[in-house]
Structure 1
Amino acid sequence: MIDLRLLRENPDLVKASQRARGADESRVDALLAADAARREAVKRTDDLRGEQKSASQAVKKATPEERPAVLERAKTLAAQVKDAEEALRAADVALREAHLRIPNVVHDGVPPGGEDDAVTLRTVGELPVHDFPVRDHLEIGEALGAIDMERGAKVSGARFYFLTGPGALLEFALAQLAISRAVAAGFTPVIAPALVRPEAMEGTGFLGEHDEEVYRVERDDLYLVGTSEVALAGMHSNEVLDLAAGPRRYAGWSSCFRREAGSYGKDTRGIIRVHWFDKVEMFSFCRPEEAAEEHLRLLAWEEEFLQLLELPYRVVDIAAGDLGTSAARKYDIEAWFPSQGTYRELTSTSDCTTFQARRLAIRYRDADGRPQPAATLNGTLCAIARTIACLLEVHQRADGSVHVPVALRPWLGGVELLTPGMTLVAPVPTA
């Protein structure tokens, strides 16, 4: 959630952020009113408690003649304190509800507008030239025996799939490459739970306006995560972190689940937009003043990974209206999909400033030893299903084979080409 001091001191800045997002400015006024009401409730409660304490002292000192009136006064004050405390609890609830309705304040320079208003910052790599009819990833994957959508739908319904043979090995290879690169960069690897409590979902900003995207296990009051960002952030809720040595970084692997509500008719073919996929996610806790630089580091690691996969891509600065609740700035990396003749999102990285940490009570100690909200950042290193789709399309060849990027070969037994009917080779760890 946003800093209430910022709201009080500069409400126009928060309103400008709402306008850039295309969000409701009146929510800022509602939050200001709720904040003022809560502070007034605190003052009234404290004042009455002070009077009640004085009345209690007066009872001890009262003469027999004074005692009935003093006791009556103390009784009246006790009832007033009880009412004031109840009003304060209601004011706390109203403030939190109003607070949760305000998304993060966008950074200066973030493009205003919505999904179509992102700004391309750079384009990297040469687009592949195919002198044969380009096939999409599903046609290639089915020919290789790597993807089985029909049986995925039979078992689980639409937008589910099996990865088989070379498809399954590609999943493991991408995960191993991503984790090994993350560890080399100083990240702690984490296998994160895919089921989390409501507090973790709300704290990371994935409830409220995003409810329709989330799977919920109602019997147990748990949610299936759409990204391990949720579990990684929640891992340190209600803790004070030691960030004296720099950011604390995790690379989390988990299965991810998204209902894809509102995406009817979009990417129904293949494994680009599915209900379940596996992902390696980078997550960083740092001091707020380090967040902007840390954001660029996460972006650089994402770019390095796509370069290892020999994929052409572009980096885009996402517009305010497409940021999501928690992000103050987000960069997407969109890779080239030949069958569609366009770039599609493959990874993203978001600077969430102190927004999530305030909700989750994640703090660090400043130079004076005082607890302060930490900053949180996330970045997808590899969304595996979509990356497999892109690899198959970009690296396809006329004879139906698929070029294997050099960086992936150690995790695929050294093979240079995936071919229909190929004999699978088990990866052999290097000494």
Structure 2
Amino acid sequence: MLDINFIKENKEIVKKGMIDKGEKDSSLVDQVIAKDEEWRSQVHKVDALRSESNAKAKQIGALMGQGKKEEAQAIIAETSKDKDTIKQLEEQLKTLQEEREELLLRIPNVPHPSVPVGASENDNETFATWGEPNKEEWRKPHWDIVERYGWVDFERGVKVTGAGFPFYVGPVAQLQRALINYFINEAGDAGYTELQAPYFVNEDSARGTGQIPDKEDMMYVVPRDEFFAIPTAEVPVTNFHRDEILSEEQLPVKYVCYTPCWRREAGSYGKDVRGLNRLHQFDKVELVKIVKPEESYEELESLRLHSEKLLQALELPYRTLLMCTGDMGFTQTKKYDLEVWSPGQQRWLEVSSCSNFESFQARRMQLRYRKEEKKTEMVHTLNGSALALPRVVSAILEAYQEENGKVRVPEVLKPFLGRDYL
């Protein structure tokens, strides 16, 4: 959520940011400013009437002391009416505040000046590349490999739950576990504290990180308990310090967390969803940072580099995209996507997003830190996938397959799997 004072002082920048992010109408900015002025006017009325009522209350005591009971009773009657009026105005004030809040929640974050302006994924910029994409025609897509060995059971997943909820069997289940352990160990070595987080969150948590109101249709809901199944560990982990004031000495806070993730992914069809490309339940190791505002963009680059180094260690060619405004999302100020090369499909597959939200999430969560001069300030929050599992698994299966059908184990995973071939 943007600060109302920032919106008022930078109205045209906020409007441009909305349009650049794909919003068709920026009138929300004018609406929230008008609502804020209405709210402030109401605050002034309540304060003035309360001050007037307090002054009258002092008169009552003086009049009583002078024996002027009739005059005192008249003022008592006035103050009684004032109390009723103040109560009504305070109820109106609460409604105005809620309406202003609802409008603020619908205004997206403003893109950083370094973000390219564009309408779709076609306008993203290639920021970096590593490795040479393998173009050998004999390489099979991962769904052929796992079908041959029975390593992923899609049909039984459909029977037990539905499409997008596969079973991992034997070596691929072990491969996933090895990757999770490897990613967590690497994060630990880089100074991240490991968390085990809840898999379900309440509405306040979903609102805090920006899933509400924006991505409700993408989330699985448990209506009876008013819970949401997490779409990513970002949600519970970033909310870990919600409504807290951290000390300056605590920053930066860095967490790593493995969780399964659930996304409805409505409207996804065709080759994009075949095999492990797009699932409703998948595993992911997430990194979350809570940092000082002046350090957040330096921290974003180190977050990106950490995820890139994992792909380099796995010897998987990848490219890093700087996302344009129209393909960046509601909450981010700047975002990188890492895409791994899939030699069996001859295409790029996203395996990580690394994002800076500045104070957008922190303001929703009222997450602050106390500076040396004892003032409090909103922190900046960041997160990144390090990494999302299904497409990394599919890229390994396709990149490490041999013509005889065997699939080698990446060197860095051999200590976890204890063998050379899956």
TM-score bucket (shorter structure): over 0.9
Matched, 1:55 2:59: no
User: Residues 14-413 of structure 1 correspond to what in structure 2 (within 5 A)?
Assistant: 14-23=14-23, 24-62=25-63, 63-112=68-117, 113-130=119-136, 132-244=137-249, 246-265=251-270, 267-413=272-418
* Alpha-carbon separation, structure 2, partners of 1:243 and 1:99: 28
TM-score by length of 1: 0.94
Q: Is the 8 A contact 1:228 1:254 kept in 2?
A: yes
Offset, 1:76: 2.2
Flag the 1:245–1:83 CA change in 2: closer, same or farther, 3 A.
closer
Letter in 1 for 2:132: E
Offset, 1:33: 1.1
Q: Structure 1 regions of 5+ residues with no counterpart?
A: 419-431
Offset, 1:402: 1.6
Secondary structure of the residue aligned to 1:152 is helix
Offset, 1:160: 1.2
Q: Is the 8 A contact 1:111 1:320 kept in 2?
A: yes
Secondary structure of the residue aligned to 2:6 is helix
Question: Larger deviation: 142-151 or 374-383?
Answer: 142-151
* Alpha-carbon separation, structure 2, partners of 1:76 and 1:326: 46
Secondary structure of the residue aligned to 1:402 is coil
Report Cα offsets for 1:146-195 as digits up to 9, x if no partner. Answer: 21111111111111101111111101100010000000000001111110
Q: Structure 2 regions of 5+ residues with no counterpart?
A: none
TM-score by length of 2: 0.96
Q: Is the 8 A contact 1:34 1:94 kept in 2?
A: yes
* Alpha-carbon separation, structure 2, partners of 1:364 and 1:266: 46
* Alpha-carbon separation, structure 2, partners of 1:137 and 1:258: 22
Report Cα offsets for 1:206-256 as digits up to 9, x if no partner. Answer: 122211100010111111001000000111111111242541100011110
Q: Is the 8 A contact 2:233 2:258 kept in 1?
A: yes
Question: Larger deviation: 132-141 or 227-236?
Answer: 132-141
Q: How many pairs does the alignment contain? A: 416
Question: Larger deviation: 278-287 or 400-409?
Answer: 400-409
Offset, 1:259: 0.4
Partner of 2:421: 417
Letter in 2 for 1:17: G
Question: Larger deviation: 90-99 or 110-119?
Answer: 110-119
Offset, 1:266: 5.5
Q: Please give the root-mean-square deviation of Cα atoms over the aligned residues, in Å.
A: 1.3
Q: Is the 8 A contact 1:403 1:417 kept in 2?
A: yes
Q: Is the 8 A contact 1:200 1:231 kept in 2?
A: yes
Partner of 1:427: none
Secondary structure of the residue aligned to 2:272 is coil
Offset, 1:403: 2.4
Runs ≥4 in structure 1, deviation > 3 angstroms?
Answer: none
Secondary structure of the residue aligned to 1:212 is helix
* Alpha-carbon separation, structure 1, partners of 2:377 and 2:42: 25
Offset, 1:55: 1.6
Q: Is the 8 A contact 1:145 1:167 kept in 2?
A: no
Partner of 1:7: 7
* Alpha-carbon separation, structure 2, partners of 1:33 and 1:95: 9
